[in-house]
Chains A and B, each alone.
Chain A
Amino acid sequence: MLDSTDRKIIQATQAGLPLTPEPYQAIAEQLGLTAGDIMKRLLAMQDKGIIRRIGVVPNHYKLGYRFNGMTVWDIPDEATDELGQKVGQLDFVSHCYHRPRHLPEWPYNLFAMVHAKNREDVDNQIRQIAELLGGFNHGCDVLYSTRILKKTGFRSSEKSACDQSVIDQAT
């Protein structure tokens, strides 16, 4: 799916886009390509979903979002697709996944990350998800992170440019 030129572009942008007026030209010069090549490939990777988006990733805490909760729900497996879509569309939900249960200790199969600046807002968000799930909600919990024990980029150089949101599922 990715050829060696794509991989070179990924490597060259792993630290981010150059902060110069013509950033794609700057990458092109570094790789011996044209700005047109770079732009064409970035757009193609965006179309294929290899690039989720080009843009900024803010630090939640610096923006005042101190309540970053992992909400987990026990819903019927056959309803996860329909309900997961709906929960994911709530504007305060940043990620929503179907994950396996581990019975009996862990009955939850739908995970939704929520973000709020205060307790009241986050409680309100959880209430909204519960309302949306209605009678399909057989139990829920919210896990707040109490301490960051480790936070690094990915091991391979390529992965350090991955969407933070992929790994922020645990933040």
Chain B
Amino acid sequence: MDEVDRNIINTLQNGFPVCAAPYHQVAGQLGLTELELIARLKALLDNGTLTRFGPLYNAEQMGGALTLAAVKTPADRFDEVTKIINSFPEVAHNYARDHALNMWFVLATETPRQILQTLAAIEQQTGLTVYNMPKIKEYFVNLKLEA
């Protein structure tokens, strides 16, 4: 990744124009040609530096439901519990964390009701208490990382 790539990443975290030839417009700002910009973006996506380029939709606005939940898993059951929780298609992410609540996962479903049903099923199958932490209020979501 060179200075040009960093410039592209920093610029395109702020937005991308909605116009007939948006790459042309952004390329002009960055001192690149349209085709250079497109080639660079493709390379950054291909090598995993970028995980996505395009519109970022807000799941809840589209009628879906999300929650963050955690369990305290005994060390000797960690792999077994991981397997159970990961087996639910509603579980989008699952992370091990350095805490008594050592497993944190995100559920994404079509409806709020399915969130509760899935959490109940996870409790039943693991025998563990699930700590459900749905957001009460969102103050800020804007992931921008200086490249």
Which A positions have Cβ atoms within 8 angstroms of B? 1-2, 10, 13, 15-17, 19-25, 35, 39, 42-43, 45-46, 48-60, 62-63, 65, 70, 80-81, 84-85, 87-89, 93-100, 102, 105-106, 111, 115, 141, 143-156, 158-159, 161-171
Chain A CB within 8 A of B31 CB? no
Tell me what chain B mostly uses at the interface: helix, strand, loop, or mixed: mixed
Q: Please determine whether A152 and B92 come into contact, CB atoms closer than 8 angstroms.
A: yes
Q: A42-B18, A98-B136 are in contact. Are A145 and B59 (CB under 8 A)?
A: no
Tell me which residues across on chain A come within 8 A of B126, comparing CB atoms.
none
Q: A169 contacts which of B68, B101, B103, B136 (Cβ < 8 Å)?
A: B68
Which residues of B line the A interface, CB within 8 A?
8-9, 12-16, 18-24, 34-35, 38, 41-42, 44-45, 47-64, 66, 68, 82, 85-86, 89-101, 103-106, 108-110, 131-147
Bound Cα distance from A63 to B22, whole angstroms: 25
A46 nearest CB across to chain B (Å): 8
Can you spell out 12 A-B residue pairs with CB atoms less than 8 angstroms apart? A50-B57, A54-B16, A62-B49, A70-B97, A95-B138, A99-B136, A105-B101, A145-B95, A146-B95, A159-B59, A162-B57, A166-B58
A167 touches B137 (CB 8 A): no
Residues B9 and A22 in contact, CB atoms below 8 Å apart: no
Determine if A58 and B13 form an interchain contact, defined as CB atoms under 8 angstroms apart.
yes
Please determine whether B57 and A161 come into contact, CB atoms closer than 8 angstroms.
yes
Name A's interface SS: mixed
Q: Taking the nearest CB of chain B, how far is it from the CB of A14, in angstroms?
A: 8
Closest to A1 in B: B61
Taking a contact as CB atoms under 8 Å apart, the answer to whether B137 and A80 are in contact is yes
Q: How many contacts A-B (CB < 8 Å)?
A: 283
Q: How far is the CB of A41 from chain B (nearest CB, A)?
A: 10
Residues of chain A contacted by B91 (CB below 8 angstroms): 150
Chain B residues near A87 (CB-CB < 8 A): 139-140
A170 touching B93 by the CB < 8 A rule? yes
Given A24-B20, A57-B51, do A167 and B93 touch, yes or no (CB 8 Å)? yes
Taking A111-B133, A145-B95, A155-B108 as known contacts, 4 extra A-B pairs with beta carbons closer than 8 A to each other, sorted by chain A number, are A19-B42, A53-B15, A146-B96, A156-B110
**Is B97 a contact of A144 with CB atoms below 8 Å?**
yes
Tell me, in angstroms, the Cα distance from A72 to B24 when the chains sit together.
Answer: 43
Contact A151 B93 (CB under 8 A): yes
